[in-house]
Amino acid sequence: MRRLSALALMLALPALRAEEGMWTFDNLPLKQLKQKYAFEPSKDWIDHVRLSTLTLGGCTGSFVSGDGLVLTNHHCTRGSIQRLSTKERDLVKNGFVAMTRDQELKIPGLTYRTLMAMENVTERVAKAVPAGLSEKQAAEARAKELDAIKAELEKAGGLTYDAVNLYQGGETWMYGFKVFKDVRLVAAPEIAVAAFGGDYDNFTYPRHDLDFSLVRVYENDKPYNPPHHLTWSTEGLKTGDLTFVVGHPGRTSRLQTFAQMKYDRDLGIPAYLKNADRTRGILEEYGKRSPEHARQVQTLILGVNNGAKANEGSLAGLKDPEAMKRIEADEKALKAAVAKNPKLAATTGQSWAKIEQALKTQAGLIKETQYVGSARSTTLGQALALVRLAEQLALPVEKRLTEYRSESGLKTLKTRLAGPAMGMMGQAPNPEQEVLLFTRGLEDAAKELGSKHSFVVTILGSRKPAEVAKALVEGTKLGDPAVRKALVEGGAKAVAESTDPMVQLARKLEPTLLALRKKQDGVKAILDEHGARIAKARFAVYGKTLPPDATGSLRITYGAVATYPANGTLQQPFTTYLGLYDRHLGWGGNAAKDHTDWNLPQRWLDRMGQLDLKTPLNFSHAVDTTGGNSGSPVVNRKGELVGLLFDGNIEGNAGRYFYDEKVNRSVSVDARAILEALAKVYDAPHLVAELTAK
């Protein structure tokens, strides 16, 4: 397709803010880097930071030693630390350091992955989707071809491949990963230090959090020796220094249509926040039963609060009239360019209207989408997954739902279903907690859907939610992995003959859930198809000068250590250990029983005199990141580790939809603070030596 002239492109291109962009490794902004920072990373530099980075599933980590030591955030491993804890040995509260390799604690059910290969399959997939197909048919043809590509690559390369859609489906890649399944906890600070300030300080700045943890990857029961790992910087950062963040940002929506953003503003995010508020209330209700109950849900509540605060910031951004005017103006400019090009007008001219119509259908499904399902029950969720797996495998491959067609995908699903039970945020389900969550979930479904909805009738009939939840949780055997494994291996026959009450209920619910799924798939097919058409039109008009939205795939972003204006002043680029103690004492120290979020563990008070209080603890830098970047390594021009990203400022929470270079800042733990704590608080010179070894 004909592209605009250079002058027309400059005039038409939406304004790209200075450091905006979570860039893919195939399309790095090398020209911008060279122009602004006189720095152009070599291929070796790029490969080194990529191969040193891991995805943890919702978070990021990095290899930081030749013996498989991985650095990530405390909040990224907190669920695992909670599972390893007991009433007598609370590792979340008291922290943990393995003094020898044999003291490292194996974390069950954890999988880490490193991106090893990338292949652009856009053209091959496009050829598999002939013109004239409906949105649903196109989606099915596309999925079939991706399954075939995935099978070919996995057979040839020995890696695990995922399809990665970029630019709203305008490009499709296959990413190949090396998978690690033996991960062991090495060190983690107390939660009072790792999450200092609690929810009050979350998404704020200045911050004083030592939000790090160390784990070790093993292979064949021996520490894994990665071909690439980051070395620890001996110089440290100063204001104005260039930083790079390498990680797996979860999701942004900057390339969505204006209608999709309005949907999120008016319906999507409010529904999320309503659910988060309800979940928080249930967990707090459970925590009030005893101190032990409170311990069990502490991590869960922090996770709920984190998601809610992030979405509140996104919602505030969508309610910013000036920002929304800019977004609408950019869309109008693209529409005008499409209308002037006959080929683009033919393929894409109606795409915005198609998306708006699909969103109306989606709005009509929002209540069912939220309340028809597992009703907050981990065990019912497992039963539903087991039933669907059995029924889908009984069908010919071409008639199955897309995620049940790939052999590697099915293998992963079967392994997960037969493995340790995982509840909210990766924690093992507790029967008492499960009964309460299930009861409240059933109450909510009955209230929101009505007593005559088929889902409510099937589960409750004339019985009370508490009665049903208690009977099902006490009667099921699905908490035993062996029982689930037998059902996975036994297939449709074993599931049909099962007398487990959760499985029997799931079989009754499956027709209702499957009907809803098909409606949702119809909406998704339209959004995906026309989102991809708009993306391809954007390529034709602007080229690949804009970065793709975050999708959980590996990205790199860059920017300098920087201040920003807030509260009538400028925010300090660095905080220090001195500031940590000042904030603690400013709240009255540990004697302040009403404000315990700023309490410190006793050993931190005992070791205060041994610490170099001038040591930088956290810093702000102008890098474009989002959820999923938690645990990302921060590296300097040399590719050395200088920090560990753990948060963003509250002013930047609208970054899901647009980037504001004046106030968008990410917040990271300074690498110097980690070494200082390991050496002088945790008595772990062996870890300091491993981290600083050249």
Helix (H) or strand (E) holding 502: helix 501-542
**Is 580 within 8 Å of 617 (Cβ atoms)?**
yes
For the chain, how many residues are written?
694
pTM of the full structure: 0.85
Euclidean distance between CA atoms 635 and 642, whole angstroms: 5
Res 306: pLDDT: 86
Contact between 354 and 530 under an 8 Å Cβ cutoff? The reply is: yes
pLDDT at 3: 38
Q: Name residues whose C-beta falls within 8 Å of residue 304's C-beta, 6 or more positions apart in sequence.
A: 276, 279, 280, 283
Query: What was the pLDDT predicted at 423?
Result: 58
Alpha-carbon span 179 to 111, nearest angstrom: 7
Torsion on CA atoms 597, 598, 604, 607, rounded to nearest 10: 180
Residues 6+ apart with CB under 8 A from 289: none
Domains, the chain, ordered by start: 6-111+181-254+546-692 (2.40.10.120), 117-171 (no CATH), 363-545 (no CATH)
- Predicted pLDDT at 18: 56
> CA–CA separation, 582 vs 202, rounded Å?
18
pLDDT for res 539: 87
pLDDT at 27: 92
Residues of the chain with pLDDT under 50: 1-16
